[in-house]
Amino acid sequence: MNACLMLLVLLLPAQAKSEEDQEKKRDAIIDRFILADTGRLAGAEAKKAIAEFDKLGVEAVPALIRGLNRSAKLDHTCPVLMISKKLGKILLACDDEKLIEFARDEIGAGLSKTPHAGTLADLRVRLAMHQNALARRPPIPAGGPGKMTTTALMRAIPRVRGEQLQSVLRELGQRDEREALIGLTSATNHRDPTIAQLARQMLDEHQSRLSISMLEERMKEGASEVKRSAIRVARDKHLELTLAIIDRLTDEQPAVRAEARAALKKLSEGKQDFGPEPNANKEKQREAQRRWREWWLSHADK
């Protein structure tokens, strides 16, 4: 994953607790650096605090902003200058416009009066200029989509058309990051049927590299297109997940139920079709599920 996508990672529920602990550690590192930079920590402890601060990267941007805002309340100038310099170095080398916008909004937030207002304003201006420069970049660089980050590929989807858009989707299909999944899923709703179909094919390509356990999980949770793609991949590559496909015949989403039914019909080589029909109620869905399960268990034993 591109380091500049860390803010997206912060939003993933499965990683929330772990990331919260990491944020607390980063806050502690920055607080110790401020103590060292203001002379309240000396000797070996001060050197250690500075070394730990120097190692912080883009993943620490939220914590650095919090530290900058805390230090802006102090009479000492040095911590503000040092943290501002580090933030500038990290963010001006980053192409994540959302992260930069987040930083612009949060730097100095809630500070009504501070002797360091000029330093904070200067950093926000430099970030605004960098953000404007990023916005003016051509969607596809000279080296093609393969030279782009996954975040940049996602941003390019609504900005390009035709062959360029197709090349972006094909490249996303080769990426394993979660952001590639998000971008491809959004493109399945494209108004151009050809583009939407290509996005589905690339979504299948992306999910075909998942482990069996992860693929089964994708069939159960997520957007309709993600579930449908996982069903297609399981149908073509993992017969051991056929019972999991049958489980989707009672899914809350009609399109998922239809995909599961189509997958089972294909597995039976068109010889069987136990439903359920699109308008079937829960009882009929479960009945179709029971009949498909009996068929598969008897078929698998042969």
Calpha distance 91→28 (Å, rounded)? 21
Q: What pLDDT is recorded for position 163?
A: 92
Calpha distance 194→191 (Å, rounded)? 9
Query: Residue 155 is which amino acid?
Result: R
Write b or e for each residue in 123-143: b if 16 or more Cβ atoms lie within 10 A of its Cβ, otherwise e.
Answer: bbebbeebbeeeeeeebbeee
Q: What pLDDT is recorded for position 138?
A: 73
Q: Are 277 and 283 in contact (CB under 8 A)?
A: no
Q: Work out the pLDDT band at 139, boundaries 50, 70, 90.
A: confident
The alpha carbon of 5 is separated from its chain's Cα centroid by a whole number of angstroms, namely: 7
Q: What pLDDT is recorded for position 121?
A: 94
Average predicted confidence (pLDDT) for the chain: 90
Whether 258 shows a pLDDT value over 70: the answer reads: yes
Q: Work out the pLDDT band at 97, boundaries 50, 70, 90.
A: confident
Mean pLDDT of 128-150: 87
Q: Express each pLDDT in 104-132 by its tens digit.
A: 999 999 888 888 999 999 999 999 999 88
For the ranges 8-12, 227-231, 295-299, the lowest mean pLDDT is seen at 8-12
Q: Express each pLDDT in 191-248 by its tens digit.
A: 999 999 999 999 999 999 999 999 999 999 889 999 999 999 999 999 999 999 999 9
Calpha distance 72→69 (Å, rounded)? 5
